[in-house]
Structure 1
Amino acid sequence: METLILEAISIDMYDRKVFRSCQHGFTKGKSCLTNLIAFYNERTAWMDEGRVVAFNIISHNIFIGKLKKCGLDEWIVRWTENRLNGRTQKVVISGTGSSWSPVV
C-alpha cells in the first residue's frame, strides 16, 4: 500500500514541480542514506562554526495542512493523517533514549 501511495504522490509532485533539490524523500537517486549524509554534514559544519544545533518536532496538523496546501488528493492526505495518528518517536544516543509524541 505504501508503494502505491508513494507512486501517486511522486507523480503528482513531479508534475507540479513541488520538490526542491534538497528533497530526499520520494526522489529518485536519493534515499535515507543520502539524507543522513547531507544532514550530518550540515550539522557538523554548524557545530564547527559554534552554532546551536537543536532538534524540533513538527505538529502533525501543520504537516497535514502543508500536504493539503500542495493540493494532494484528499484520500492520500487522510491516509497519511491516519498513518501518523498515535505515532511516537524515540531517539537513542549512547544507549540512553527518550521517547516523545509529536504535537498534534
Structure 2
Amino acid sequence: MEGRKVIQNNLHGFTKDKSCLNNLVAFYSGVNTVVNKGKAPDVFLCKTFDTVPHTILFSKLERGGFDE
C-alpha cells in the first residue's frame, strides 16, 4: 500500500511509525498555521462517515449543493 501511494502521507491510522500523538501534533500545527494567518479553521471529523448511513449523508450533501 505504501509503495503504491494508496495511503496519503498525512494519514496516520494503522500506519507504521505514525502514532495518534503524531497525528494530534500535525493537526494542531495545521490549525495554528491557519489561525496565525487570521483565518478560521474548518474541521471535519472523518469518523462521521462511520456512524452516518451513507444514503442519508449523500442526500443531505446534495441538498447542500454538492454532487456525487
* CA RMSD across the alignment: 2.3
Q: Percent identity?
A: 36
Q: Per residue, is there more helix in 1 or in 2? A: 1
Question: Normalised by the size of structure 1, how large is the TM-score?
Answer: 0.41
Question: Normalised by the size of structure 2, how large is the TM-score?
Answer: 0.58
Unaligned segments of structure 2, at least 5 residues: 55-68
Runs of 4+ in 1 over 6 A off after TM superposition: none
How far has the Cα of 1:24 moved from its partner? 1.1
Greater length-normalized contact order (CA 8 Å, ≥ 6 residues apart): 1
Aligned in 2, Cα 1:41/1:57: closer, same or farther, shift over 3 Å? closer
How far has the Cα of 1:23 moved from its partner? 2.1
Q: Per residue, is there more strand in 1 or in 2? A: 1
How far has the Cα of 1:14 moved from its partner? 2.9
Partner residue of 1:53 out of 41, 55, 63 = 41
How far has the Cα of 1:26 moved from its partner? 2.0
